[in-house]
Copies of this chain bind each other. A is one copy, B any other.
Amino acid sequence: MSPLCVPHWSLVGKERNVETERKRPKGKRTQIITASVQVFAQKGFSSATMKEIAVQAGIGKGTIYEYFPSKEELFFAVFEWYVGEFGSKTIANIAALGGSARERLQAMNEALMKSWGELKDVYTLSMEFWSASASSQMRERFKEAFRQSYRDFRRIVASLIREGVARGEFRSDVDPESVSAALVGTWDALLLQAWFEDDFDPLKTATKYMAIFVRGLAAQPLT
């Protein structure tokens, strides 16, 4: 799951007020995951401890094991939730809208970059997931899931490009697969740079970039 699959609207602050719904056995799994998001984001997978997560979730350490067989499984569950909860939905929704392909591409760009504000706080999870896919015991599982996530993402963008080509909006020699991979990658990487540099404005940068990029795509010279 690339970070940009994860607009994360409403992610933050969601865990507060859990007190009121104490003993809602159904939500305990979610409760644990939510706590894990906080802790893993802050400490990273290795440095996070089950104790810490339990405390954050307001439950006993042993209880976590009622829902997840191991720390790694819990981490993977966080990962799945991350993807599943937010995934490429935003992008897909925008793709389904009307308007020119270019406009929708730019809408995607805007939506993703605007999500940075909320994403920021848990963005480090992406790095943890990358790291997990690189070297943990669960390497393959994570890698496969990432692969799938990127694929989904590229597929949506590629469709849109293809549509633009079909409509004659984009040049016919454009390769939708390559373009979507690059575009998805750019979005991804801009958020990464934003993470490193506080005063980096991903929306501004991305908007300027998109102007150039869509001009390169356009079948007819843009003004």
- Interface 1/0 per residue, A177-195 and B, CB below 8 Å: 1110110111011101101
Given A181-B200, A182-B209, A208-B178, verify A134-B127 contact (CB < 8 Å).
yes
**Which interface residue of A41, A143, A212 has the most chain B CB atoms within 10 A?**
A212
Task: Say yes or no: A212-B44 contact (C-beta < 8 A), given A130-B131, A196-B147.
Answer: no
How many residues on chain A are close to B (CB under 8 Å)?
A: 56
Q: Is the interface of A mostly helix, strand, loop or mixed?
A: helix
A70 at the interface (CB under 8 A from B): no
Copies of this protein, total: 4
User: At the interface, yes or no: A172 with Cβ under 8 Å from chain B?
Assistant: no
Contacting pair A216 B212 (CB below 8 A): yes
**Residue A135 at the chain B interface, CB threshold 8 Å:** yes
- The answer to whether B182 and A192 touch across the interface, beta carbons within 8 angstroms, is no
A42–B134 Cα distance when bound, in Å, is: 8
A211–B175 Cα distance when bound, in Å, is: 11
Is A128 an interface residue, CB under 8 A from the partner?
yes
Q: What separation, in Å, do the CA atoms of A188 and B43 have in the docked complex?
A: 25
Residues of chain A in range 75-90 having any CB-CB distance to chain B below 8 Å: none
